[in-house]
Structure 1
Amino acid sequence: MSGKSQVQIMINDKVVKMTARDLAKMLKAMPTGNIKQVEFLSKPPAKYEVNGNTGIINIKTVGVVKGVAGNLDLSTSQGVNNWADLSGLVNYGAGKLAVSGYAAWHRGNVIKLSV
Protein backbone atom coordinates (compact mmCIF):
# COMPACT_ATOMS: atom_id res chain seq x y z
CA MET A 1 0.00 0.00 0.00
CA SER A 2 2.86 2.26 -0.85
CA GLY A 3 1.92 5.91 -1.18
CA LYS A 4 -1.26 5.66 0.91
CA SER A 5 -1.65 8.01 3.86
CA GLN A 6 -3.72 5.42 5.74
CA VAL A 7 -4.53 1.72 5.43
CA GLN A 8 -7.79 0.33 6.79
CA ILE A 9 -7.79 -3.31 7.95
CA MET A 10 -10.87 -5.47 7.42
CA ILE A 11 -11.54 -9.09 8.33
CA ASN A 12 -14.38 -10.69 6.34
CA ASP A 13 -15.52 -7.23 5.12
CA LYS A 14 -15.73 -5.82 8.68
CA VAL A 15 -13.47 -2.98 9.85
CA VAL A 16 -11.00 -3.92 12.59
CA LYS A 17 -9.30 -1.21 14.66
CA MET A 18 -5.79 -2.31 15.62
CA THR A 19 -2.22 -1.17 15.30
CA ALA A 20 0.13 -2.56 12.65
CA ARG A 21 2.03 -4.35 15.41
CA ASP A 22 -1.16 -6.01 16.72
CA LEU A 23 -2.14 -7.01 13.18
CA ALA A 24 1.24 -8.67 12.62
CA LYS A 25 0.95 -10.55 15.93
CA MET A 26 -2.62 -11.66 15.14
CA LEU A 27 -1.63 -12.93 11.69
CA LYS A 28 1.32 -14.85 13.16
CA ALA A 29 -1.03 -16.46 15.68
CA MET A 30 -3.68 -17.38 13.06
CA PRO A 31 -3.27 -20.80 11.40
CA THR A 32 -2.61 -20.41 7.65
CA GLY A 33 -5.42 -22.86 6.87
CA ASN A 34 -7.92 -20.32 8.24
CA ILE A 35 -7.03 -17.64 5.64
CA LYS A 36 -8.87 -18.04 2.34
CA GLN A 37 -7.94 -14.80 0.58
CA VAL A 38 -6.21 -11.46 1.16
CA GLU A 39 -7.43 -8.48 -0.90
CA PHE A 40 -5.36 -5.32 -1.36
CA LEU A 41 -7.58 -2.46 -2.51
CA SER A 42 -5.48 0.60 -3.34
CA LYS A 43 -8.52 2.31 -4.93
CA PRO A 44 -11.52 1.00 -2.94
CA PRO A 45 -14.92 0.98 -4.67
CA ALA A 46 -17.71 3.28 -3.47
CA LYS A 47 -19.30 0.54 -1.31
CA TYR A 48 -16.46 1.03 1.19
CA GLU A 49 -16.61 4.23 3.22
CA VAL A 50 -13.06 5.58 3.22
CA ASN A 51 -11.70 9.08 3.55
CA GLY A 52 -9.01 10.60 1.35
CA ASN A 53 -5.99 8.59 0.29
CA THR A 54 -6.89 5.39 2.18
CA GLY A 55 -6.22 1.82 1.05
CA ILE A 56 -7.89 -1.34 2.35
CA ILE A 57 -6.48 -4.73 3.25
CA ASN A 58 -9.36 -7.23 3.51
CA ILE A 59 -8.46 -10.61 5.03
CA LYS A 60 -11.06 -13.28 4.21
CA THR A 61 -11.16 -16.38 6.36
CA VAL A 62 -12.63 -19.82 5.70
CA GLY A 63 -16.06 -20.73 7.07
CA VAL A 64 -16.78 -21.62 10.66
CA VAL A 65 -14.27 -24.06 12.14
CA LYS A 66 -16.05 -26.18 14.77
CA GLY A 67 -14.64 -26.33 18.28
CA VAL A 68 -12.18 -24.18 20.17
CA ALA A 69 -8.78 -23.18 18.82
CA GLY A 70 -6.29 -20.56 19.81
CA ASN A 71 -2.73 -19.46 20.29
CA LEU A 72 -0.77 -17.68 22.99
CA ASP A 73 2.43 -15.80 22.18
CA LEU A 74 4.93 -14.37 24.65
CA SER A 75 8.05 -12.61 23.41
CA THR A 76 10.70 -10.35 24.83
CA SER A 77 13.77 -8.58 23.55
CA GLN A 78 16.73 -7.08 25.34
CA GLY A 79 18.93 -4.32 24.04
CA VAL A 80 19.20 -0.69 24.95
CA ASN A 81 15.49 -0.95 25.80
CA ASN A 82 13.60 -3.92 27.16
CA TRP A 83 10.45 -4.96 25.26
CA ALA A 84 7.81 -7.54 26.18
CA ASP A 85 4.74 -8.67 24.25
CA LEU A 86 1.95 -11.02 25.27
CA SER A 87 -0.85 -11.77 22.82
CA GLY A 88 -3.54 -14.37 22.37
CA LEU A 89 -6.10 -15.40 19.78
CA VAL A 90 -9.13 -17.58 20.59
CA ASN A 91 -11.68 -18.90 18.10
CA TYR A 92 -14.88 -20.79 18.86
CA GLY A 93 -17.20 -22.23 16.25
CA ALA A 94 -20.45 -24.20 16.50
CA GLY A 95 -22.89 -24.58 13.62
CA LYS A 96 -23.31 -21.17 12.00
CA LEU A 97 -21.94 -19.34 15.06
CA ALA A 98 -18.33 -18.16 15.12
CA VAL A 99 -16.74 -16.04 17.81
CA SER A 100 -13.17 -14.73 17.73
CA GLY A 101 -11.23 -12.77 20.27
CA TYR A 102 -7.78 -11.20 20.16
CA ALA A 103 -5.95 -9.40 22.94
CA ALA A 104 -2.42 -8.01 23.21
CA TRP A 105 -0.29 -6.37 25.87
CA HIS A 106 2.94 -4.50 25.09
CA ARG A 107 5.49 -3.04 27.45
CA GLY A 108 8.72 -1.28 26.65
CA ASN A 109 10.76 1.87 26.96
CA VAL A 110 11.31 4.17 24.04
CA ILE A 111 14.19 6.61 23.95
CA LYS A 112 13.71 9.58 21.63
CA LEU A 113 16.86 11.09 20.23
CA SER A 114 17.11 14.68 19.09
CA VAL A 115 19.71 15.89 16.63
Structure 2
Amino acid sequence: MEQHLETVALFSLKLAYESEGSSPILRDDLVMGDYQRDVFELLVRKEDVAAIKGKVAECVGLALEAIGGTGKPLGRELDRLSVDFSAALTLEQLDTPLVALKDYLKDIQ
Protein backbone atom coordinates (compact mmCIF):
# COMPACT_ATOMS: atom_id res chain seq x y z
CA MET A 1 0.00 0.00 0.00
CA GLU A 2 2.81 2.42 0.84
CA GLN A 3 4.19 2.15 -2.67
CA HIS A 4 0.79 2.94 -4.19
CA LEU A 5 0.39 5.95 -1.89
CA GLU A 6 3.81 7.26 -2.86
CA THR A 7 3.04 6.72 -6.54
CA VAL A 8 -0.24 8.64 -6.30
CA ALA A 9 1.66 11.50 -4.68
CA LEU A 10 4.41 11.36 -7.29
CA PHE A 11 2.06 11.37 -10.28
CA SER A 12 -0.03 14.15 -8.74
CA LEU A 13 3.00 16.33 -8.09
CA LYS A 14 4.31 15.63 -11.59
CA LEU A 15 1.05 16.98 -13.02
CA ALA A 16 1.21 20.00 -10.76
CA TYR A 17 4.87 20.96 -10.99
CA GLU A 18 6.57 19.41 -14.01
CA SER A 19 6.82 21.51 -17.10
CA GLU A 20 8.07 20.70 -20.56
CA GLY A 21 11.79 21.07 -20.88
CA SER A 22 12.46 20.86 -17.15
CA SER A 23 13.94 17.90 -15.35
CA PRO A 24 11.37 15.34 -14.20
CA ILE A 25 10.27 15.06 -10.60
CA LEU A 26 11.66 11.90 -9.03
CA ARG A 27 10.80 10.04 -5.83
CA ASP A 28 13.82 11.55 -4.03
CA ASP A 29 13.11 15.19 -4.95
CA LEU A 30 12.52 17.70 -2.16
CA VAL A 31 8.92 18.25 -3.25
CA MET A 32 8.27 14.60 -2.34
CA GLY A 33 9.57 15.05 1.22
CA ASP A 34 6.20 14.72 2.99
CA TYR A 35 4.94 12.09 0.55
CA GLN A 36 7.70 9.49 0.49
CA ARG A 37 7.11 5.81 1.09
CA ASP A 38 8.57 5.84 4.61
CA VAL A 39 6.17 8.61 5.64
CA PHE A 40 3.23 6.60 4.33
CA GLU A 41 4.67 3.44 5.91
CA LEU A 42 4.57 5.08 9.33
CA LEU A 43 0.98 6.24 8.80
CA VAL A 44 -0.07 2.79 7.64
CA ARG A 45 1.63 1.17 10.61
CA LYS A 46 -0.25 3.57 12.92
CA GLU A 47 -3.45 2.89 10.92
CA ASP A 48 -3.95 6.65 10.63
CA VAL A 49 -6.51 6.58 7.83
CA ALA A 50 -7.40 10.26 8.30
CA ALA A 51 -3.78 11.40 7.85
CA ILE A 52 -3.33 9.15 4.82
CA LYS A 53 -6.47 10.53 3.22
CA GLY A 54 -5.35 14.07 4.05
CA LYS A 55 -1.95 13.65 2.38
CA VAL A 56 -3.51 12.08 -0.71
CA ALA A 57 -6.13 14.84 -0.85
CA GLU A 58 -3.39 17.50 -0.80
CA CYS A 59 -1.62 15.92 -3.76
CA VAL A 60 -4.75 15.15 -5.75
CA GLY A 61 -5.96 18.71 -5.16
CA LEU A 62 -2.80 20.06 -6.78
CA ALA A 63 -3.20 17.67 -9.70
CA LEU A 64 -6.85 18.58 -10.09
CA GLU A 65 -5.95 22.26 -10.25
CA ALA A 66 -3.20 21.55 -12.79
CA ILE A 67 -5.58 19.76 -15.17
CA GLY A 68 -8.22 22.47 -15.05
CA GLY A 69 -10.47 21.46 -12.17
CA THR A 70 -13.75 19.62 -12.16
CA GLY A 71 -15.01 21.62 -15.11
CA LYS A 72 -12.87 19.49 -17.43
CA PRO A 73 -13.48 15.81 -18.26
CA LEU A 74 -10.12 14.70 -16.79
CA GLY A 75 -10.85 16.69 -13.66
CA ARG A 76 -14.31 15.26 -13.19
CA GLU A 77 -12.98 11.71 -13.33
CA LEU A 78 -10.09 12.51 -10.99
CA ASP A 79 -12.53 14.11 -8.57
CA ARG A 80 -14.82 11.06 -8.71
CA LEU A 81 -11.92 8.72 -7.96
CA SER A 82 -10.77 11.00 -5.16
CA VAL A 83 -14.25 10.95 -3.60
CA ASP A 84 -14.24 7.13 -3.76
CA PHE A 85 -10.87 7.09 -1.98
CA SER A 86 -12.04 9.59 0.64
CA ALA A 87 -15.12 7.50 1.43
CA ALA A 88 -13.00 4.61 2.75
CA LEU A 89 -13.08 4.17 6.51
CA THR A 90 -10.40 1.52 7.02
CA LEU A 91 -7.01 0.67 5.55
CA GLU A 92 -8.50 -2.33 3.79
CA GLN A 93 -11.16 -0.15 2.17
CA LEU A 94 -8.49 2.27 0.87
CA ASP A 95 -6.81 -0.34 -1.30
CA THR A 96 -9.17 -0.64 -4.30
CA PRO A 97 -9.86 3.11 -4.77
CA LEU A 98 -6.16 3.81 -4.22
CA VAL A 99 -5.16 1.53 -7.09
CA ALA A 100 -7.84 3.09 -9.32
CA LEU A 101 -6.55 6.57 -8.46
CA LYS A 102 -2.94 5.55 -9.11
CA ASP A 103 -3.80 3.96 -12.46
CA TYR A 104 -5.79 7.00 -13.58
CA LEU A 105 -3.03 9.43 -12.64
CA LYS A 106 -0.52 7.27 -14.49
CA ASP A 107 -2.74 7.24 -17.58
CA ILE A 108 -3.15 11.03 -17.72
CA GLN A 109 0.56 11.83 -17.34
TM-score, scaled to structure 1 = 0.27
Structure 1 or 2, whichever has the larger Rg, is 1
Structure with more strand by fraction: 1
Larger RCO of the pair (alpha carbons < 8 Å, separation 6+): 2
Structure with more helix by fraction: 2
TM-score, scaled to structure 2 = 0.28
